[in-house]
Amino acid sequence: MLSIDLAGRVALVTGATSELGRVMVRTLARAGADLAIHYHQNQTKAEELAAECRALGRRTAVVQADITRKADIEAMREAVTAQLGAPAILVNNAVIQYEWTSVLEQSEADYESQFRSSVLQNVLMAQAFVPAMIERGWGRVIGINTECTMQCWPNQSAYISGKAGMDRVLRVLAKEVGGHGITVNQVAPGWTLSENRTGEGTPQWYLDGVALKRRGTDQEIAHAVAFLASDLASFISGVYLPVCGGNVMPAI
């Protein structure tokens, strides 16, 4: 039977405590990976997730960092590497939330925070963790993007300008490190149902636009992440993969 087997791989998920991140952690653990569980403020959730992973027989490390700060990311690398060894799989998932408004009203600080949250997170994570992947000759970098980057709806400019910049960084990185057996891809969720976002009040116009006529689940996003992390996806790189039921469809 074909299966996803990540046994012996260490995966680091940033924003593991988030709505989507926590299911990615559980799914990667179920596929056999050891888990470095990153949090910013929610240590309690990070420790709970670590306990769940250990119950499955996985090794875990719980690490705190502000993903916009180089010193924090370097300290995280030292802590994870000392406890689990260098990660082979990175999932750059953390996001800074802020209040969305129009271009005319959004503050300069919000644009800067989204640049740091999306572009710099991916740059700093690559600089900290990809060298060890190059040494090993195997690695997976998975950035979590969004369907919004293709939609360009009102009030999302700060968020999606950061995500669009991240997209370009990761496509270039894919070309720079592919020769070392490292794939670099992005999963772009749609507006996703999760533990605390149950979909009550979803407007019909949104569902009408989705080819599959429903919202996707946190588990469906995590399955895509696990697939891209695995050897089944060994020849896929530089991809922006919408997991949004066909709400956006990149053109060829």
Ligand X SMILES: NC(=O)c1ccc[n+]([C@@H]2O[C@H](COP(=O)([O-])OP(=O)(O)OC[C@H]3O[C@@H](n4cnc5c(N)ncnc54)[C@H](OP(=O)(O)O)[C@@H]3O)[C@@H](O)[C@H]2O)c1
Size of the site for ligand X (CB under 6 A): 23
The yes or no reply on residue 39 touching ligand X (CB under 6 A) is yes
- The answer to whether residues 10 and 34 touch, using CB atoms and an 8 Å cutoff, is yes
Quick one: which of 7, 8, 41, 231 contacts ligand X (CB under 6 A)? 41
Report the residue number, 60 or 68, with the smaller CB distance to ligand X.
68
137: left (phi over 0), alpha (psi -120 to 50) or beta: left
40 lies in the site for ligand X, by CB under 6 A: yes
- Residue 66 as a binder of ligand X (CB under 6 A): the answer is yes
Using rule CB under 6 A, residue 17 touches ligand X = yes
- Residue sitting closest to ligand X (CB): 18
Shortest Cβ 192–ligand X spacing (Å)? 4
Question: Which structure tokens are listed for 185?
Answer: 């891809």
Tell me the closest approach of the beta carbon of residue 35 to ligand X, in angstroms: 14
**Binding residue for ligand X, selected from 4, 31, 90, 94, defined by CB under 6 A:** 94
**Whether 206 is catalytic:** no
Distance, in Å, from the CA atom of 120 to the CA atom of 202, rounded to the nearest integer, reads 32
Distance CA 116, CA 166 (A): 10
Minimum distance from residue 55 beta carbon to ligand X (Å): 21
**Residue 13 tokens, joined:** 């998920």
Active-site residue (options: 39, 159, 206, 240): 159
Stretch of residues binding ligand X (CB under 6 A), selected from 11-19, 80-88, 166-174, 228-236: 11-19
User: Interface with ligand X by CB under 6 A: which residues?
Assistant: 15, 17-21, 39-42, 66-68, 93-97, 144, 146, 189, 191-192
Give catalytic residue positions. Answer: 159
